[in-house]
C-alpha cells in the first residue's frame, strides 16, 4: 500500500506541472494584462493615470516579457515556496491566500459535514420508507435544492432576513468581533454567521447525495442476500448497517476528491453574494483583473487539492470496499 501511495505521488508531479502550464496559458488568454484592467477600472471611477506611468509600470512588473519567461519565473518561484506578487493587492501572494484558505476550510469542512449528515439521514429514511409521505417530501425538497442555484438561495435567505429581521446577514463576523482575538464570544458570533453559507452551499450537494444514497440503497435492499439474512432472523437495523449501507456509502467516499475542490471553488458566487472573506471572491477578482500570479497560484492550489482529494478517496474506497485491489 505504501508503494502504491508513493507511486501516486510521483504521478502527481507531471500532472500538476501540466496543470500549472495550462492554467497560466488560460489566464493570459484574454487581451491586455493586469495593467489594462487596472487602467480601465481607474477610468471607470473617474480617476486618471499618466500614460507614462503606465509604461513604466508595465516595464517594472515585467508584463512585456515573453510568455515562457514569465511562466518560468513564476513556476521556479512556486517550487521555492514563493508564489509571486499580487498586483491588485500589492502583496506577495503567499501572504494573501493563507488567511483566506483557513476560513475557506472552516466553511468547506462544516458544509461537507452538514451535507453528509443531512443526506445520510434523509437518504436512509427515504430508501427504507420508499413512497411514503416523508420520502416524497424529501424528494421534493431535494429536487428543489438541486435545481436552485446556490446564489439564488443565498439571495432569498438574505432578502427574508432583511425583510423580517432588518439584518443584512453576510460576512463571517460582526464588526465588533472581526478585529478581536479569538474568544468564545467570537466563536459564537462566527456560528451565527456560518449557518447561512452552510445551508446555501450545502443544499445542492445534499440533494444529489440523497438521491444517490437512496437509489443505491434501494438496489441493495432488493438483493437476495438481504432477503436471506432477514429470513434467517437478523435484526433489520443490524443488517441494514452491516451490508447495504456500507455499499451505498461508496459514492459518498468517491466524491471526496472533487467535493473538496468544488467546495472551495464552487462557492465563488455564493461567497461574493454573502461577502465571505473566503478564497472564492478573491479568485474571481483576480481572474477579472488578470492578476495573473494570484489567480495562477489559486488555481494551482485547487488542482493540488483535487489531485490529493482523489488519492484520499481512492484510499478510503479501498478500505470500505474490499473488492478493490492496489494494482
Binding site for other proteins (CB under 8 A): 30-33, 36-37, 39-54, 56-57, 59-60, 88-92, 96, 99, 158, 162, 166-168, 170-173, 175, 178-179, 272-273, 275, 277, 281, 285, 289-290
- As a whole number of angstroms, the distance between CA 221 and CA 127 comes to 9
Q: How far is the CB of 156 from other proteins (least distance, A)?
A: 13
Q: DSSP H helical segments within 129-149, as ranges? A: 133-147
Q: Report the candidate in 14, 28, 20, 18 with the shortest Cα–Cα distance to residue 66.
A: 28
Instruction: Considering the complex, state which of residue 48 and residue 327 has its C-beta at the smaller distance from other proteins.
Output: 48
- As a whole number of angstroms, the distance between CA 283 and CA 296 comes to 9
Compute CA distances 71 → 17, 38, 62, 79, 304, whole Å. 11, 21, 12, 12, 18
- As a whole number of angstroms, the distance between CA 198 and CA 189 comes to 15
Q: How far apart are the first and last CA of the chain?
A: 10
Q: How far is the CB of 15 from other proteins (least distance, A)?
A: 30
Q: How far is the CB of 118 from other proteins (least distance, A)?
A: 27
- As a whole number of angstroms, the distance between CA 262 and CA 256 comes to 10
Instruction: Considering the complex, state which of residue 217 and residue 274 has its C-beta at the smaller distance from other proteins.
Output: 274
Q: How far is the CB of 81 from other proteins (least distance, A)?
A: 11
The tally of CA atoms less than 13 A away on the side-chain side of residue 102 is: 6
Instruction: Considering the complex, state which of residue 121 and residue 178 has its C-beta at the smaller distance from other proteins.
Output: 178
Q: How far is the CB of 225 from other proteins (least distance, A)?
A: 54
Instruction: Considering the complex, state which of residue 14 and residue 46 has its C-beta at the smaller distance from other proteins.
Output: 46
Instruction: Considering the complex, state which of residue 170 and residue 259 has its C-beta at the smaller distance from other proteins.
Output: 170
Q: How far is the CB of 17 from other proteins (least distance, A)?
A: 25
Instruction: Considering the complex, state which of residue 99 and residue 219 has its C-beta at the smaller distance from other proteins.
Output: 99
- As a whole number of angstroms, the distance between CA 132 and CA 119 comes to 17
- As a whole number of angstroms, the distance between CA 244 and CA 222 comes to 10
Location of C-alpha cell 487596472: 38
How many CB atoms lie under 10 A from the CB of residue 210?
28
Instruction: Considering the complex, state which of residue 24 and residue 260 has its C-beta at the smaller distance from other proteins.
Output: 24
Q: Which residues of 113-123 are buried (b: 16+ CB within 10 A; e: fewer)?
A: ebbbebbbebb
Location of C-alpha cell 462566527: 190
Compute CA distances 147 → 49, 152, 156, whole Å. 46, 10, 14
Q: How far is the CB of 194 from other proteins (least distance, A)?
A: 14
Q: How far is the CB of 42 from other proteins (least distance, A)?
A: 8
Q: How far is the CB of 60 from other proteins (least distance, A)?
A: 4
Instruction: Considering the complex, state which of residue 175 and residue 319 has its C-beta at the smaller distance from other proteins.
Output: 175
Instruction: Considering the complex, state which of residue 287 and residue 299 has its C-beta at the smaller distance from other proteins.
Output: 287
Amino acid at each position: 500500500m505504501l508503494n502504491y501511495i508513493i507511486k501516486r505521488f510521483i504521478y502527481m508531479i507531471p500532472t500538476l506541472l501540466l496543470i500549472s502550464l495550462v492554467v497560466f496559458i488560460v489566464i493570459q488568454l484574454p487581451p491586455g494584462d493586469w495593467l489594462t484592467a487596472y487602467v480601465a477600472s481607474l477610468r471607470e471611477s473617474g480617476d486618471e493615470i499618466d500614460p507614462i506611468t503606465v509604461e513604466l509600470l508595465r516595464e517594472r512588473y515585467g508584463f512585456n516579457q515573453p510568455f515562457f519567461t514569465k511562466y518560468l519565473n513564476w513556476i521556479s518561484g512556486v517550487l521555492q515556496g514563493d508564489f509571486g506578487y499580487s498586483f491588485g493587492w500589492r502583496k506577495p501572494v503567499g501572504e494573501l491566500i493563507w488567511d483566506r484558505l483557513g476560513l475557506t476550510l472552516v466553511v468547506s469542512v462544516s458544509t461537507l459535514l452538514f451535507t453528509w449528515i443531512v443526506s445520510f439521514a434523509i437518504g436512509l429514511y427515504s430508501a427504507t420508507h420508499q413512497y411514503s409521505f416523508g420520502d416524497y417530501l424529501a424528494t421534493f425538497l431535494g429536487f428543489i435544492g438541486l435545481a436552485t442555484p446556490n446564489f439564488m438561495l443565498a439571495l432569498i435567505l438574505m432578502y427574508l432576513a432583511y425583510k423580517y429581521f432588518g439584518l443584512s446577514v453576510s460576512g463571517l463576523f460582526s464588526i465588533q468581533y472581526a478585529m478581536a482575538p479569538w474568544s468564545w464570544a467570537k466563536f459564537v458570533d462566527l456560528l451565527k454567521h456560518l449557518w447561512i453559507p452552510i445551508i446555501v452551499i450545502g443544499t445542492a450537494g445534499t440533494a444529489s447525495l440523497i438521491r444517490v444514497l437512496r437509489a443505491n440503497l434501494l438496489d441493495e435492499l432488493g438483493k437476495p442476500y438481504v432477503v436471506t439474512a432477514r429470513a434467517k432472523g437478523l435484526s433489520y437495523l443490524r443488517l441494514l448497517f452491516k451490508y447495504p449501507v456500507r455499499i451505498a456509502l461508496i459514492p459518498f467516499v468517491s466524491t471526496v476528491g472533487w467535493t473538496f475542490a468544488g467546495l472551495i471553488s464552487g462557492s465563488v458566487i455564493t461567497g461574493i453574494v454573502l461577502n465571505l472573506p473566503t478564497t472564492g471572491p478573491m479568485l474571481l477578482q483576480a481572474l477579472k483583473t488578470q492578476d495573473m500570479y494570484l489567480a495562477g497560484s489559486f488555481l494551482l492550489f485547487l488542482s493540488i487539492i483535487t489531485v490529493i482529494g482523489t488519492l484520499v478517496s481512492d484510499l478510503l474506497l479501498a478500505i470500505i470496499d474490499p473488492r478493490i485491489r492496489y494494482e
